[in-house]
Homo-oligomer: A and B are copies of this chain.
Amino acid sequence: MNRGIFQAAVFSVLIFIIALAPQDSTDTVILGFTPEHSKKQFELEQKFDSYLSPDHLRDRMKRMSSEPNQLGSPHDKKNAEYLISLFKKWGFDAHIEQFKVLFPTPKERVLELVEPTHFKASLHEPALKEDATSSIQKNTLPPYNAYAADGDITADLVYVNQGVPDDYKELEERGISVKGKIVIARYGGSWRGIKPKVAYEHGAIGCILYSDPLDDGYHQGDSYPEGSWRPDEGVQRGSVMDMPIHPGDPLTPGVGATENAHRIPRDSAKVILKIPVLPISYADAQPLLAALKGPVAPPSWRGALPITYHIGPGPAKVHLKVTFNWDMVPLYDVIAKMRGSEEPDQWVIRGNHMDGWVFGAADPLSGNTAMMEEAYAIGQLAKTGWRPKRTIVYCSWDGEEPALLGSTEWVEEHADELQKKAVLYINSDGNSRGFLYVGGSHSLQHFINQVGHSVIDPERHVDVIERLRARRLVNGDKEVANGKDLTIYPLGSGSDYSPFLQHLGIASLNMGYGGEGGGGSYHSRYDSFDHYRRFGDPSFEYGVALSKTAGRAVLRFADADLLPFHYSDMADQVGEYLNQIKKMIGNMRDEAKFQHKLLRDSIYILAADPTKTYNPPKTLSDVPYLNFAPLENAVAHLKNSAASFDSAFSVQMKKGVTLSSAQINALNDALQTAEQELTDKGGLPRRPWFRHQIYAPGFYTGYGVKTLPGVREAIEQRNWNEASKEVGITAEAINRYSQHINEAVSMLR
């Protein structure tokens, strides 16, 4: 502890000097490269860029999206074989790695309103003459939610808004229980799998999900095919597996789902839901919602259908029947390596999935084709004699849609090797016209900002970081006016980085472009080539921009003299997250006190309308003062260690790297595994698969990230003992990380 503080004092002078260094030095020297090597790398990138062509992306997307390509479909396999052939042609050592996974597909789907009137939901997305593939029926999966339970039930309906925990507080205030009922929830506000899980926790026996036109339909813009937005019969499919517990095959948690893997019985798989779930269109939802009576839904619950939104329960009664083929299907990951010339056992891994829900043009092929274009360009570079210093691994994942299956099983199968070799995982998924978005490990923040500064926006011809900064400025974010690096967002879940980052602790990035492509096709039959070429990225230039961005990241990490981590950004962000949590618990304390006063004085009752059923909120537990000192000390140490490292690193780089080659190797080995120190072997409470102590998907948000998740979620759930325990566990992980960085610092001297 004292050593860290001492170092901080010594290095504070240096930090100050660096902070005053001209910004444009970042334009001439690449992080992790000597000035001389930077120049070479810039030249390499120029060459790389020269191979990229939007036409390649367009053609590849058209081909790969010409037939349904979900996990287990014939065309999915064909796409895998197509990609293998490309990788091989481009000089990669490529193979298909096969797994066997549980993938339920629908057998029967029935939804009807049986009282007070009869209405049968069509559950069907019709063909559109403006959309060439929309008439293809062969091998397509109809709208459904994967990993819901079989069921055949009839019950009163209750509208639960977005179906998140707070919505059930509103129901309670109105004296409405969902016990024994079927709930209908609109998409939005959380990952979809949270909705049936929370409904089940409250006693519901079935769950209907629908896209409200407020969020995803005519209220957003003209609907397809006139505009891009979801048409009245369009449906969002998707997985509802309880992935906040773990993603991947439900039958092989924690291990690769190889042919002979040990499998648990299906009925003991924790992540398969206990109730039937079905997604529907707003055309199908409107008659159900219109038939509800009971209290009028609160303002924030109301969508854009031309009805009065009521909560129920009833008189609307619905019959819901869904059954599945619980099949084991083969999964084909495409893995392509280009061996590193100097550090073959340091792997830079780049992935994007290839399976869609139907034709998957935007999701995932817009990202997949960009990734393939990188591989193509790297292959062309290799044909000129260039070789990466480190091994580059390109991965086209299968089965992402159902449960991040391809990435998770591969990571679980190769966990030991990856922990030794992986230096970085770079993910992308859907991509469209607009602005760069990047999330990931904050130790990569400076690196990826520098990458972004070297990629030019196809529309506005400034670098993509400056265009993103412009957008944030126009949106009123004055903090970014200082011209410094833009903060990257912390990763929750929703794509294939989860097993790398959150299970193994491999430093990861997730990136793409978007914000100007029209939405509305997500996970529907209309996520097609025709939709994408009109609305997603008509020129495919943002696909090329993604190739440039991720490609540079791959190449720089593959060729860097010293691995380009920058730990002060991580330290600052962890400090910020801790501040958020301390503020949150303070607010919770004030809120509880205030609520107790209102309950004591019957204020809730006095304010309520006596003609309506009303229950005051349940008494909030008192919020104790927790001992945050272990975390506060850990953050202070991390700041010191990070500052020491970043300074020493910068000095070393400016000198042109004066270390011996053995010293360099040892240092890079140390940097490769640093992020893994942020994991805890025991994982997070009740979900040991998630080991990262800084980033996790929220247990009750799904995609939405929770930073310092052990502590934050325990506090949110008012589990004070667990929160205190998690403060210690998280602090230990941060301290290990700081210690690891300190060791790297000593190697830099």
Of A213, A227, A473, A481, most B-chain CB atoms within 10 Å:
A473
Residue pair A610, B474 in contact (C-beta under 8 Å): no
Task: Mark the stretch among A23-31, A116-124, A217-225, A372-380 that contacts chain B.
Answer: A217-225
Residue pair B218, A609 in contact (C-beta under 8 Å): no
- The distance in angstroms between the C-alpha atoms of A716 and B194, with both chains bound, is 47
- The distance in angstroms between the C-alpha atoms of A219 and B309, with both chains bound, is 7
**A141 to nearest B CB, angstroms?**
29
Residue of B223, B470, B516 touching A606 (CB-CB under 8 A): B470
Contact partners of A605 in chain B: CB under 8 A? 460
- Knowing A296-B221, A474-B598, the reply to whether A466 touches B308 (Cβ < 8 A) is no
Residue pair B308, A222 in contact (C-beta under 8 Å): yes
Residue pair A305, B306 in contact (C-beta under 8 Å): yes
**A513 to nearest B CB, angstroms?**
13
Contact partners of A598 in chain B: CB under 8 A? 473-474
**A623 to nearest B CB, angstroms?**
17
Residue pair B219, A308 in contact (C-beta under 8 Å): yes
Residue of B221, B229, B305, B606 touching A460 (CB-CB under 8 A): B606
**A362 to nearest B CB, angstroms?**
18
Residue pair A470, B603 in contact (C-beta under 8 Å): yes
User: Counting CB contacts under 8 A, is A416 at the interface?
Assistant: no
Residue of B516, B607, B609 touching A609 (CB-CB under 8 A): B516
Residue of B221, B467, B475, B478 touching A308 (CB-CB under 8 A): B221
Q: Mark A217-251, 1 if CB is under 8 A from B, else 0.
A: 01111110001010000000000000000000000
User: Counting CB contacts under 8 A, is A471 at the interface?
Assistant: yes
User: Counting CB contacts under 8 A, is A324 at the interface?
Assistant: no
User: Counting CB contacts under 8 A, is A417 at the interface?
Assistant: no
Q: Nearest residue in B to A460 (C-beta to C-beta)?
A: B606
- The distance in angstroms between the C-alpha atoms of A609 and B460, with both chains bound, is 9
Quick one: copies of this chain in the complex? Answer: 2
**A436 to nearest B CB, angstroms?**
13
User: Counting CB contacts under 8 A, is A597 at the interface?
Assistant: yes
User: Counting CB contacts under 8 A, is A174 at the interface?
Assistant: no
Q: Which residues of chain A from 591 to 634 have a CB within 8 Å of any chain B CB?
A: 594, 597-598, 601, 603-607, 609-611
- Knowing A516-B609, A594-B478, the reply to whether A227 touches B473 (Cβ < 8 A) is no
- The distance in angstroms between the C-alpha atoms of A606 and B435, with both chains bound, is 11
Residue pair B308, A223 in contact (C-beta under 8 Å): yes
User: Counting CB contacts under 8 A, is A96 at the interface?
Assistant: no
Q: Nearest residue in B to A286 (C-beta to C-beta)?
A: B306
Residue pair B227, A308 in contact (C-beta under 8 Å): yes
- Knowing A213-B306, A306-B306, the reply to whether A474 touches B607 (Cβ < 8 A) is yes
User: Counting CB contacts under 8 A, is A267 at the interface?
Assistant: no
Of A221, A305, A467, A611, most B-chain CB atoms within 10 Å:
A221
Contact partners of A296 in chain B: CB under 8 A? 220-222
Residue pair A481, B606 in contact (C-beta under 8 Å): no
Counting contact residues on chain A (CB < 8 A from B), the size range is 35 or more
**A125 to nearest B CB, angstroms?**
19
Residue pair B466, A606 in contact (C-beta under 8 Å): yes
Contact partners of A594 in chain B: CB under 8 A? 478, 481
Residue of B219, B471, B597 touching A481 (CB-CB under 8 A): B597
Residue pair B610, A459 in contact (C-beta under 8 Å): yes
- The distance in angstroms between the C-alpha atoms of A594 and B472, with both chains bound, is 13
Contact partners of A5 in chain B: CB under 8 A? none
User: Counting CB contacts under 8 A, is A302 at the interface?
Assistant: yes
Q: Mark A286-326, 1 if CB is under 8 A from B, else 0.
A: 00000000001000001011111000000000000000000
Q: Nearest residue in B to A604 (C-beta to C-beta)?
A: B474
User: Counting CB contacts under 8 A, is A462 at the interface?
Assistant: yes
Q: Mark A444-487, 1 if CB is under 8 A from B, else 0.
A: 00000000000000011010001100110111001001000000
Q: Which residues of chain A from 186 to 231 have a CB within 8 Å of any chain B CB?
A: 213, 218-223, 227, 229
Q: Nearest residue in B to A310 (C-beta to C-beta)?
A: B222
Q: Nearest residue in B to A282 (C-beta to C-beta)?
A: B306
Contact partners of A611 in chain B: CB under 8 A? 516
- The distance in angstroms between the C-alpha atoms of A473 and B616, with both chains bound, is 13
Query: 25 interchain pairs (CB within 8 A)?
Result: A213-B306, A218-B306, A218-B307, A220-B296, A220-B308, A221-B308, A222-B296, A223-B308, A229-B308, A304-B304, A305-B306, A306-B306, A434-B609, A460-B610, A467-B606, A467-B607, A470-B604, A471-B607, A473-B598, A473-B603, A474-B603, A474-B604, A478-B594, A516-B609, A516-B611
- The distance in angstroms between the C-alpha atoms of A605 and B460, with both chains bound, is 8
Q: Nearest residue in B to A478 (C-beta to C-beta)?
A: B594
**Contacts A304-B304, A475-B607 known; 12 new A-B pairs at CB < 8 A:** A218-B306, A219-B302, A220-B308, A227-B308, A460-B605, A460-B606, A470-B604, A471-B606, A473-B603, A478-B594, A516-B609, A516-B611
Contact partners of A223 in chain B: CB under 8 A? 308
Q: Nearest residue in B to A467 (C-beta to C-beta)?
A: B606
Q: Nearest residue in B to A434 (C-beta to C-beta)?
A: B609
Q: Nearest residue in B to A476 (C-beta to C-beta)?
A: B594
- The distance in angstroms between the C-alpha atoms of A304 and B304, with both chains bound, is 5
Residue pair A473, B607 in contact (C-beta under 8 Å): yes
Residue pair B607, A470 in contact (C-beta under 8 Å): yes
**A602 to nearest B CB, angstroms?**
8
Q: Nearest residue in B to A302 (C-beta to C-beta)?
A: B219
- Knowing A304-B306, A305-B306, A308-B223, the reply to whether A462 touches B606 (Cβ < 8 A) is yes
Contact partners of A459 in chain B: CB under 8 A? 609-610
- The distance in angstroms between the C-alpha atoms of A97 and B467, with both chains bound, is 69
**A216 to nearest B CB, angstroms?**
13
**A536 to nearest B CB, angstroms?**
13
**A317 to nearest B CB, angstroms?**
20
**A128 to nearest B CB, angstroms?**
17
- The distance in angstroms between the C-alpha atoms of A308 and B226, with both chains bound, is 11
Contact partners of A308 in chain B: CB under 8 A? 218-223, 227, 229
- The distance in angstroms between the C-alpha atoms of A213 and B474, with both chains bound, is 31
Q: Nearest residue in B to A598 (C-beta to C-beta)?
A: B473
Q: Nearest residue in B to A471 (C-beta to C-beta)?
A: B607
Contact partners of A604 in chain B: CB under 8 A? 470, 474
Contact partners of A607 in chain B: CB under 8 A? 467, 470-471, 473-475
- The distance in angstroms between the C-alpha atoms of A127 and B598, with both chains bound, is 46
- The distance in angstroms between the C-alpha atoms of A609 and B218, with both chains bound, is 21
- The distance in angstroms between the C-alpha atoms of A611 and B458, with both chains bound, is 12
Contact partners of A227 in chain B: CB under 8 A? 308
Q: Nearest residue in B to A474 (C-beta to C-beta)?
A: B607
Q: Mark A531-568, 1 if CB is under 8 A from B, else 0.
A: 00000000000000000000000000000000000000
- The distance in angstroms between the C-alpha atoms of A223 and B290, with both chains bound, is 13
Contact partners of A306 in chain B: CB under 8 A? 213, 218, 304-306
**Closest 4 interchain pairs by CB?**
A470-B606, A470-B607, A474-B607, A306-B306
Contact partners of A516 in chain B: CB under 8 A? 609, 611
- The distance in angstroms between the C-alpha atoms of A296 and B218, with both chains bound, is 10
- The distance in angstroms between the C-alpha atoms of A684 and B307, with both chains bound, is 46
